[in-house]
Amino acid sequence: MGQRMVREAGALLAQARSVVVLTGAGVSAESGVPTFRDALTGLWRSFDAQRLATPEAFRDDPALVWGWYEWRRATVRQARPNAGHLAVAAIEARVPSGVVVTQNVDDLHERAGSVAPIHLHGSLFAPRCSACAHPAPVPDEVAEEPGDGRRVVPPRCARCAGLVRPGVVWFGEALPAMALEAAVEAASTCDLLVTVGTSGLVYPAAEIPQVAARSGATVMQVNPEQTPLDADADVNLRGPAAQVLPALVQAAWGGVDQV
* Three-class HEC string of 147-199: CCCCCCCCCECCCCCCEEEEEECCCCCCCCHHHHHHHHHHHHHCCEEEEECCC
Active-site residue identified among 85, 109, 121, 134: 121
- Residue 236 is labelled as binding a ligand: no
Please tell me whether 225 is known to bind a ligand: yes
CA atoms within 13 A on the CB side of 185: 8
Angle, to 10 degrees, between the axis of helix 241-252 and the axis of helix 3-15?
60
DSSP track, 87-132? HHHHHHHHSSEEEEEE---SSHHHHHT-SS-EETTEEEEEEEETTT
By CB atoms closer than 10 A (0-12, 13-18, 19+), residue 253 is: middle
| Residue 122 annotated as part of some ligand binding site | no
Peptide bond into 96 cis (omega under 30): no
CA dihedral 1, 229, 173, 25 (to 10 degrees): -10
196, 223 Cβ separation under 8 angstroms: yes
121 flagged as catalytic = yes
Phi, psi at residue 103, to the nearest 5°?
-90, -5
Is 129 annotated in a binding site? The answer is yes
142 is in an annotated binding site: no
Q: Is 224 annotated as a binding residue?
A: yes
Q: Are 124 and 66 in contact (CB under 8 A)?
A: no
Whether the Cβ atoms of residue 131 and residue 157 lie closer than 8 Å to each other: yes
190 is in an annotated binding site: no
Cite the annotated binding site for NAD(+) by residue number: 103-106, 197-199, 223-225, 241
Cite the annotated binding site by residue number: 69, 72, 103-106, 129, 132, 157, 160, 197-199, 223-225, 241
Catalytic residues: 121
Cite the annotated binding site for substrate by residue number: 69, 72
